[in-house]
Amino acid sequence: MVEMIEGGVTKPQGFLAAGVHSGVKYRSMDLGIVYSEVPADAFVGYTSNKVKSAPVQVMMKENSPKLSAVVVNSGNANALTGRRGMEDAITMKETAAAELNLDPAEVGVMSTGLIGRFMDMHKVKYGISKAAGSLSKGRDADASFAEAIMTTDTIKKECAAAARLKDGTLVNIGAISKGSGMIAPHMKVLHGTTLTLITTDAKLSPAFLETWQEILDDSMNMVSVDGDQSTNDTCILMANAMSGGNCADKDPEFKAALMEVMTTLARTIALDGEGATKLIEVQVMGAETKDDARKAVHAIINSPLVKSAIFGSDPNYGRIMMALGNSGCAFNLEDVRLTIKGGDMEVPILDSGAPVFQEERSVEVVRMAMDNKEVTIIVDLAIGDGQAVGWGCDLTYDYVRINAEYAT
């Protein structure tokens, strides 16, 4: 039994959080800490961009199996900051460790914001001390932490789930994510700038890492706002076992609950893509392989022409096929079925390599389906069993505005 419930990162037993204003940003909250009363097993996915931020490099090198706290700042990504950036990321860990009476190895660090500027460590250290002193539980704590890690986000990406495991244990999962631009994570476990923090009181073993990669691949790694993978993407799962009960590694209910949480976050990130007015879901089925299906989803969801057509509810479905044709995925044009869904309309588009209709009136039906807050593109390649689902958003005037003015 999996149930989505009200709550955030402090929902599972033993987790506290705080968000404060350190001064890195002019006004908004910009520094947060999540803390577990007992050391938690940590499962981390990092960006696969070759240019990695200082906090990502520091975390990957240390590769701690257990984390008791994670410190996060927004406003400055601490990326492209060379040796000084590395020192600053280490200082963030050390400062939080000292404040919380922990070993620095038990403290995770994440940063998001502008690339290529040094951190103002005076402000950051002040913020860490303030946040460490105001850790608490409940919706206010969730909210302050969530706000502290946001950049151009306009929606709070938070959710929680409860699952009853096979042994009867009730476990909770809390989750928070930030990310609106530079979003096309391709996170590799151990080795996504969405910053995501998942807390759970379930008990997990190190062997859960493989399942974690699988879940990341089907959720976070299938979101794309602009096809630009960040230097800072990091996704941390902390499991502190405080629910009691057996190891949940193989429990189908736990996996289902975690997948539901991750998918909810992924869809919210896409919907809150910079300047987005619509959520686009792309479903590809019948591909030769899963990898092929993924390639096709990514090509469609990243095409600026598809994205701007959907923004304008412009029934230019040929662009979807153009993107599919560039994806490198195997298919025979004559066999491809293309359907566009929006609201309660489901419109078949292609048959035998040509549109099923040509009349202006029928094209109008496509426009009506596209004129919805959520548009689903369904592509059936009909040559195999490979399938994948991904999420993106439309390309709007506001995306351009936000990104033409970001640093200033």
Q: Of 216, 214, 123, 202, which Cα lies nearest the Cα of 161?
A: 202
Residue 302 CA, chain-centre distance (Å), reads 16
- 5 Cβ contact list (under 8 Å, min separation 6): 11, 160, 161, 162, 172
Amino acid at 318: G
- Which residue's CB is nearer to its own copies, number 155 or number 400? 400
Asked if 294 is part of the footprint of its own copies (rule: CB under 8 A), the reply reads no
DSSP calls for 88-119: HHHHHHHHHHHHHT--GGGEEEEEEEESS---
d(CA 137, CA 9): 9
Asked if 404 is part of the footprint of its own copies (rule: CB under 8 A), the reply reads yes
Q: Contact letters (x/-) for its own copies, 361-380, by CB under 8 A?
A: --x-----------------
Q: Is 193 a catalytic residue?
A: yes
| Contact stretch for its own copies (CB under 8 A) within 251-259, 262-270, 285-293, 321-329 | 321-329
With 0-12 / 13-18 / 19 or more C-beta atoms within 10 angstroms meaning exposed / middle / buried, residue 385 is: exposed
What's the min distance (Å) between Cβ of 129 and its own copies? 25
User: CA separation (Å) from 36 to 11, 93, 111, 197, 274?
Assistant: 11, 15, 20, 12, 32
From 112, 151, 169, 193, the catalytic residue: 193
In the structure encoding, which two tokens stand for residue 213, read together? 């990669």
Asked if 392 is part of the footprint of its own copies (rule: CB under 8 A), the reply reads no
Using the Cα atoms of residue 341, residue 344, residue 350 and residue 356 in order, give the sign of their dihedral: negative
Asked if 358 is part of the footprint of its own copies (rule: CB under 8 A), the reply reads yes
Asked if 335 is part of the footprint of its own copies (rule: CB under 8 A), the reply reads no
Site for its own copies in 182-201 (CB under 8 A): 182
User: CA separation (Å) from 188 to 50, 72, 77, 229?
Assistant: 12, 20, 19, 12
What's the min distance (Å) between Cβ of 75 and its own copies? 14
- 50 Cβ contact list (under 8 Å, min separation 6): none
Using the Cα atoms of residue 270, residue 307, residue 387 and residue 183 in order, give the sign of their dihedral: negative
* The pairing of beta strand 234-239 with beta strand 354-355: unpaired
Asked if 230 is part of the footprint of its own copies (rule: CB under 8 A), the reply reads yes
What's the min distance (Å) between Cβ of 314 and its own copies? 5
User: DSSP state, 285?
Assistant: E
Asked if 122 is part of the footprint of its own copies (rule: CB under 8 A), the reply reads no
Asked if 115 is part of the footprint of its own copies (rule: CB under 8 A), the reply reads yes
Q: Which of 12, 331, 340, 391 is the binder for its own copies (CB under 8 A)?
A: 331
Q: Which of 60, 114, 247, 365 is the binder for its own copies (CB under 8 A)?
A: 114
Provide the 10 A C-beta neighbour count for residue 339.
Answer: 16
Asked if 226 is part of the footprint of its own copies (rule: CB under 8 A), the reply reads yes
| Contact stretch for its own copies (CB under 8 A) within 35-43, 155-163, 224-232, 234-242 | 224-232
Q: Which of 213, 246, 308, 362 is the binder for its own copies (CB under 8 A)?
A: 308
- Which residue's CB is nearer to its own copies, number 115 or number 220? 115
- Which residue's CB is nearer to its own copies, number 319 or number 341? 319
- Which residue's CB is nearer to its own copies, number 174 or number 386? 386
In the structure encoding, which two tokens stand for residue 256, read together? 């289902």
Asked if 52 is part of the footprint of its own copies (rule: CB under 8 A), the reply reads yes
Q: Which of 162, 297, 323, 347 is the binder for its own copies (CB under 8 A)?
A: 323
In the structure encoding, which two tokens stand for residue 255, read together? 């996996």
Asked if 321 is part of the footprint of its own copies (rule: CB under 8 A), the reply reads yes
Asked if 396 is part of the footprint of its own copies (rule: CB under 8 A), the reply reads yes
- Evaluate whether 2 touches 159 at the Cβ level (below 8 Å): no
What's the min distance (Å) between Cβ of 84 and its own copies? 7
Asked if 224 is part of the footprint of its own copies (rule: CB under 8 A), the reply reads no
> Which residues are 75's β-sheet partners?
113
- Which residue's CB is nearer to its own copies, number 65 or number 116? 116
d(CA 233, CA 229): 8
d(CA 337, CA 283): 12
Asked if 319 is part of the footprint of its own copies (rule: CB under 8 A), the reply reads yes
- Which residue's CB is nearer to its own copies, number 244 or number 325? 325
Main-chain dihedrals φ then ψ at residue 336, nearest 5 degrees: -75, 130
Site for its own copies in 53-92 (CB under 8 A): 77, 79-85
User: DSSP state, 23?
Assistant: S
Active site residues: 193
Q: Which residues bind its own copies (CB under 8 A)?
A: 49-52, 77, 79-85, 114-118, 181-182, 226-231, 302-305, 308-309, 311-312, 314-319, 321-326, 331, 333-334, 350, 352-355, 358, 363, 395-397, 399-401, 403-408
